Every structure is written in C-alpha cells, then in structure tokens.
Amino acid sequence: MAARRLVAGNWKMFKTADAAVAFVDAFLPLLPMIPENIDIVLCPPFTALDAVARRLRGHDRVALGAQNMHWESSGAFTGEIAPPMLTDLGVRYVILGHSERRQYFGETDEAVCKKTIAALTHGLTPIVAVGETLAERDAGLAHERVVSQTRAALHGLAPDALAHVVLAYEPVWAIGTGRNCEALDADAIMQAIRTSMHGLTNVPILYGGSVKPENVPLYVAQPNIDGALVGGASLDPEGFANLLRAACEGRCDAV
C-alpha cells in the first residue's frame, strides 16, 4: 500500500476569481497523471473560494482550503470571515498561523489556538503552521521555537481531537526566498514537533518553504515529512501537477 501524501497549494494574495477558474480548468484534466495516494488541497483567496468551489464539484480528489479565518462563528468583526461561511462554500481545510499572518498582522499564538479550536468545532481541518525566523535559527532556538508554537496552538486539545489536525513546518527564512531548509534538518525539527505532545504520532506534518518539483522528493523521503505546503510553485497548473507527481517519489512504495 502506497504511503499517502498531502500537498496544499497556498495561493496567498494571487489570482482573481476568473484567474482561479482558469487554473482549475487547466488543472483538472491533469489529475489522471497524478498518483492516487496524493491528497490535494487548493487554497485560493477568499474572493475566489466560491468560483473554485463550483468548478471542483464532482472532483473529490481536490479539496478546497481557505487561507485564514476568525475564531468566532459570527459577530461585529469587520473584514473577517467566520468558520460557517467557509463550510457553507464547501471548504474543508483552513491554513492557520502562517508566518505572514503572524509577521504582518500581529497574529499571536493565543489567536492561533482559538482558531484551531474553532476550525475543529466546525468540522474544518486546520493546517497549523509553525516556524522559526532566521535570527532564532542562528541563535540555536529553532527547535525550541517550533515546539513552543506547536504546544501553544494545540493547547487544551485532547489526543482524539489532535487526530484531525495537520501541522506545517515552514522556516520563515525559507518562505518565498528561494532558500530551503535541508531535508535532514527539516526532518529533525519535524520529529521534535511530532514528539512534543501526546497524540501527534500519526498527525500529518507538511514541509513548506520554497518547495519545488526538484526538491519535494527529498522532503517526502524523510520519515517525519508527510507532504508539503506550497506557495509560488502552486500557482501554475502544469507546474503544480509536476510537483504533485514528484511528491510521490521517496516513500511512495512504503507499506
């Protein structure tokens, strides 16, 4: 039995609704060339969620994800998006705690925890991102920082709830820079994440940070890396399909 992989494409603040639909229309015909053991998630901007959801109907191989959400189910929070608004559109996954949210919008560990709990409450699978800055890494604090973020994001969750969480290790210094963490180094940090709390043994952990078709096999070959959270390399349909095929290399023949 082939080992399963989860690969999520985070489109960030790219693509209008029309551009997103054009991507999906070009991408869906490529699915037969992508191994069945790859679980695929597309995370467009909020403004394109509905259009993409409509195009994905009847295509169960591709799940819809959002890039963020509020922890409240409704209320006077101008500009925010509530969990029920996402599920109403057919969203199944939501990225939480991305470093860009933390860096540019002041998102705290406490907020990520609230959002994680809310996502699970509303039947969404949270993809909880953690990662160290270059300064933290140079100071030898990478393991300490990501373990702290993991424990804070999942605080109060029972092991059975943790089974419905996905984690993503994204070294901040590697996001969008063209630099990537060495596979063995990433695996060591992700092992620290996996062993940081009871209940994370079988939780999928993704690597993110300048992931490309050329390097993704090196990551998924590692014992603690179960897939990838992909940024820029997910914006082109053919390029993303090539990356998904490459993600089958490594441990894909493992039982």
Average pLDDT over residues 188-216: 95
User: pLDDT-derived band of residue 251, with 50, 70 and 90 as boundaries?
Assistant: low
DSSP single-letter state for residue 3:
P
**From 70, 98, 132, 136, the catalytic residue:** 98
170 is catalytic: yes
User: pLDDT-derived band of residue 219, with 50, 70 and 90 as boundaries?
Assistant: very high
pLDDT on residue 252: 47
pLDDT on residue 106: 95
Q: From the CB of residue 107, how many other CB atoms can be counted at a distance below 10 Å?
A: 18
Which conformational region is residue 23 in: left (phi greater than 0), alpha (psi within -120 to 50 degrees), or beta?
alpha
pLDDT on residue 82: 98
Q: From the CB of residue 217, how many other CB atoms can be counted at a distance below 10 Å?
A: 18
C-alpha span between 28 and 237 (Å, rounded):
9
Q: Give yes or no for residue 255 having a pLDDT over 80.
A: no
- 19-44 confidence digits (pLDDT tens): 999 999 999 999 999 999 999 999 99
Give the chain's length: 255
Q: Give yes or no for residue 14 having a pLDDT over 70.
A: yes
- 65-120 confidence digits (pLDDT tens): 999 999 999 999 999 999 999 999 999 999 999 999 999 999 999 999 999 999 99
Alpha carbons within 13 angstroms on the beta-carbon side of residue 165 total 28
- 161-201 confidence digits (pLDDT tens): 999 999 999 998 877 777 778 999 999 999 999 999 999 99
Does this model's pTM top 0.75? My answer is yes
Least Cα distance to 120 among 152, 147, 148, 92 occurs for 92
Least Cα distance to 72 among 54, 53, 88, 85 occurs for 85
**From 72, 80, 170, 198, the catalytic residue:** 170
